Amino acid sequence: MNLNRVVLIGRLTKDPELRQVSNGNETVSFTLAVTRQFAPQGAEKQTDFIACVAWGNQAKFLGNYMKKGSLISVEGRIQTRNYEVEGRVVYVTEVVTDNIQSLEPKQNLENIPNQQVSQPRSNPAPQDPFAPFDDSDAYYQSSKDLTVDDDLPF
C-alpha cells in the first residue's frame, strides 16, 4: 500500500495570481510559509517555504479571496516533475492541492476585493457531497446565516 498525503497550515508569501493554461484550466502556483513546531533551546523557530499548486475551483478560491499573509490550510499530495532549460534539467517538488481552507476570521475576507477572476463560478451538483467547494452553492449560502463566534483568541 502506498500513501502520499500532506496537510499544511501556513501563510501565503505573496498575492496569488490566477492563470489560465493552454487547455483552459485555471491554476495558481504559490508558496506557503510554514513555521516549524520546535526549535533548539534558545533559538528562534524556523520557517519552511513550500511550493504548492492549485487547479480549478481551488485556484479560483485562492485567486478570489486570498492575499499575501492569509492563513490557510492545505491538503494534497507531493508531486515531483522536471523540465529542461538551456540544456539543464530543473527538478521541482511541490504539493498538488486537493483542499484549501481559509483559517482567517470572516471579517478579514470580506474586505478583499474580487478583482482577479471575472468569469462566474460553476455550481457543483447540490446532491454530490464530494463536489469541489463552491461558495455559490445553495447549501453554502444557507449556512452563512448560522451564528459564528468571531471572538476566538486566535
Buried b (16+ CB within 10 A) or exposed e, 23-33: eeebbbebbbe
- Mean pLDDT value of segment 94-101: 96
DSSP strand pairing (47-55 vs 19-20): unpaired
Amino acid 40: pLDDT: 84
Considering only residues 83 and 150, tell me which one the structure prediction assigns the higher pLDDT: 83
Q: What is the pLDDT of residue 18?
A: 92
Flag whether pLDDT at 120 surpasses 80. Answer: no
Give the integer Cα–Cα distance in Å for 50 and 62.
16
Tell me the pLDDT tens digit for each residue of 75-87: 999 999 999 999 9
pLDDT in tens, 39-55: 888 888 899 999 999 99
- Hey, which residues does 97 pair with through a beta bridge? 76
- The percent of residues in the chain predicted with pLDDT above 90, rounded, is 56
Task: Give 2's pLDDT tier (boundaries 50, 70, 90).
Answer: confident
Among 60, 54, 98, 100, smallest CA distance to 76 is for 98
Closest CA to 29 of 12, 44, 7, 46: 12
pLDDT band, very low/low/confident/very high, at 108 (cuts 50, 70, 90): low
What CA–CA distance (Å, rounded) separates 38 from 45? 6
Note whether 90 and 51 are within 8 A (CB).
Answer: no
What pLDDT is stored for residue 109 in this prediction? 55
CATH of 6-143, one of 2.40.50.100, 3.50.50.60, 2.40.50.140, 3.40.50.300: 2.40.50.140
Q: What is the mean pLDDT of the chain?
A: 78
Tell me the pLDDT band of 62, cut-offs 50, 70 and 90.
very high
